[in-house]
Structure 1
Amino acid sequence: MGYADREYFREGGGRPPSRLAGAPVVKWLLIVNLGVFLLGLFVEGPDKILEQMFRERADVDRDQKISLAEMKFWGAAQPKAVQGWKIEDRFKRWDKDADGFLTPGEVIHPGVFTVTEGLYGFQVWRLVTFQFLHADFGHLFFNSIAIYFFGAFVEQQLRSRAFLFFYLLCGVAGALGASLLGLFQGNFQWQLVGASAGVFGILAVAALIAPKMQVRLLIPPVTLTMRQLAIILLGIGVLTILLGGRNAGGEAGHLGGALAGFLFWKVPILRELLVKLGSPGGRGSVTRRGFQIRIKKSDKRYEKKLRPRMKDSGRTAAEVDRILDKINEHGLQSLTEEERALLSDSGKK
């Protein structure tokens, strides 16, 4: 995709007809997340889903009970789904076996990630499946909004196949981050669901690519730079963990995903591994400077397809970088006619 094809260079305010036009992976992530959520509602029913998420084995000791007020899933209470149940008889946090080790109850839902099932039980598929499950519609909605706005931007920089691996690996890193905190605190049964770890990986990369890009939030209605948004969200996560908040496990997952995104973008060997995973034949290798992609070694078909993007001279490339920085800071309207012409010529090469 040349520079003239980027969304902020299009006529009419820099917005393409559809943000998803150049982001097929983001489109399918949104479809699959919504489809899985609706399937769970209409096939299993909300009561059954909640029971699967929290129900314990019938044969465990029930000395440690939790109340209805405490029975929340990542901060989202579901009182209607358990109306009429004797909560103290149906739910518990954990028990200790004869050796004094914590023995968490069984998680029935096959897609939820916990340390017990996902790691100790070697049910490694949970490292991926939890990323497509959501606790409620609000959880799904805000993750989908973030994937739509920021995921499309990052996918256009990484290319679709590499972006898919990037997104899923950030989710895996989020599960491992939550696991580390769970192991440290002795809580093996945190139940992790949602796309948030992958979303935080996306946010981290977006903040590195365009730190001064303006972001208008829905709630609260304020405008922040991409860097400010990332710092605030990561700061909330750190404080929640340090203060022992209810969603400490989820925030650890967020931080794990963000750290993975940062490392994939900043560490050359990880970036090259990511591109190799996402390139035809697995032999692509790239270095990055700003928004440029320069192939060092690659499958011939892949190299031939991308070679026109490397024809800029060093001087032109530096000018293009400067212009892109200017767009990030002041918007497309700040460009002179000469700068617009340079971007247009560069995008056609």
Structure 2
Amino acid sequence: MRNLTIVTKNLLIINVLAFIATWVVKGVGIDLQSMCGLHFFLANDFHVYQLVTYMFLHANFAHILFNMFALWMFGCVIESVWGPKKFLFYYISCGIGAGLMQELAQFVSFYVTISGQDPSVGLSDVFQVGQALSMQLNSWTTIGASGAVYAILLAFGMIFPNERIFIFPLPIPIKAKWFVTFYVCIELFSALGSPGDGVAHMAHLGGMLFGFFMIRYWNLHPTSGYGRSSGLDFFENLKRNLDKRNRPRGSSGRDMHVERGGAKESDWEYNARKKANQDEVDRILDKIRKSGYDSLTKEEKQKLFDSSNND
């Protein structure tokens, strides 16, 4: 079984615990799906935090089983390539993007419904109608990690386009790029043909759309990171400054690092080794972009997993 990477493992745990908690507290009259599910923004129960919390709730066992299986199967690979911080940023951002797309789809549906009943209702009037119907609109609730998970599927297809995977019940494997294309088509046709089937197809497509543009931006700007001014970097810089401030006075300017095996090395040796490792990882990632994941040797694949675990 594939080794679980740190972020993927914690996401699986959080989703399972949230699923269990949903049914436990329901017995005492607490509806987590109503509290933390994503409501339509014109509804009375809508809160901004729901754009995050909704992706950790699921309607039933089949719902969470599919999402968590896909997250485990593809998330470990993507996290090993990108590292935990970039992977988590991508996952949460695409989940929020999926929620925003679902909000937009619901607004369009609401406008079409209202204008169909009263053609004199204009776009500006919809908000007033929404306020009057805010209690009834509370029933429009979205839950599930599917938007973020579909973004992970997209990332796998873009990074490893020629990797062959199986789709039940097809007897032969197909390339990842066709696998992703198949899912996009299914969701697109479902969104257009069955808008009232209770499945947030636009959220699925929204997660993939946000993921596509994010990956394209990273590919076009490989040295820009994924947001150097983000809160992640702020806390990293803060931690470094605190470490420097807490360093004992009179200590040598030439710090020594102690590795797991007990060997000591200077700052210069440590930085040189880290740079060499990063150069090797960059070379492997460049090889993936040019020739696909299948072109890697066993040692190169292991290097990617090792580099992720050491982050």
- Give the shorter-chain TM-score range: 0.5 to 0.7
Amino acid at match of 1:148: W
Q: Is the 8 A contact 2:159 2:288 kept in 1?
A: no
- The answer as to 2:191 corresponding to 1:241 is yes
The partner residue of 1:167 within 81, 91, 108 is 91
Q: CA deviation at 1:320?
A: 7.3
2:226 alignment partner in structure 1: 274
- The answer as to 2:39 corresponding to 1:114 is yes
Amino acid at match of 1:137: F
Query: RMSD of aligned C-alpha atoms?
Result: 4.0
- The answer as to 2:27 corresponding to 1:19 is no
**Cα distance change, pair 308–248 in 1 and its aligned pair in 2 (3 A):** farther
Distance 1:239 1:131 in 2: 23
Q: Is the 8 A contact 1:163 1:278 kept in 2?
A: no
The partner residue of 1:39 within 10, 21, 42 is 21
Unaligned runs of 5+ in 1: 1-16, 54-107, 285-299
- The answer as to 2:148 corresponding to 1:190 is no
Amino acid at match of 2:66: F
Greater percentage in helix: 2
1:225 alignment partner in structure 2: 175
Amino acid at match of 1:132: F
Query: Which stretches of structure 1, 4 residues or longer, exceed 6 Å deviation after superposition?
Result: 302-305, 346-349
DSSP 3-state at the match of 2:62:
helix
Q: CA deviation at 1:193?
A: 0.4
Name which structure has the greater RCO, CA cutoff 8 Å, separation 6+.
2
Unaligned runs of 5+ in 2: 112-136, 238-267
Number of aligned residue pairs: 246
Distance 1:169 1:233 in 2: 20
The partner residue of 1:129 within 44, 53, 61 is 53
Distance 1:250 1:34 in 2: 21
**Cα distance change, pair 229–278 in 1 and its aligned pair in 2 (3 A):** farther
Amino acid at match of 1:33: N
Q: Is the 8 A contact 1:162 1:279 kept in 2?
A: no
Amino acid at match of 1:213: E
**Cα distance change, pair 139–248 in 1 and its aligned pair in 2 (3 A):** closer
Q: Is the 8 A contact 2:41 2:103 kept in 1?
A: no
The partner residue of 1:307 within 275, 292, 300 is 275
1:203 alignment partner in structure 2: 153
Distance 1:135 1:264 in 2: 29
- The answer as to 2:273 corresponding to 1:321 is no
**Cα distance change, pair 157–181 in 1 and its aligned pair in 2 (3 A):** same
Distance 1:178 1:319 in 2: 33
* TM value normalised by structure 2: 0.65
* TM value normalised by structure 1: 0.59
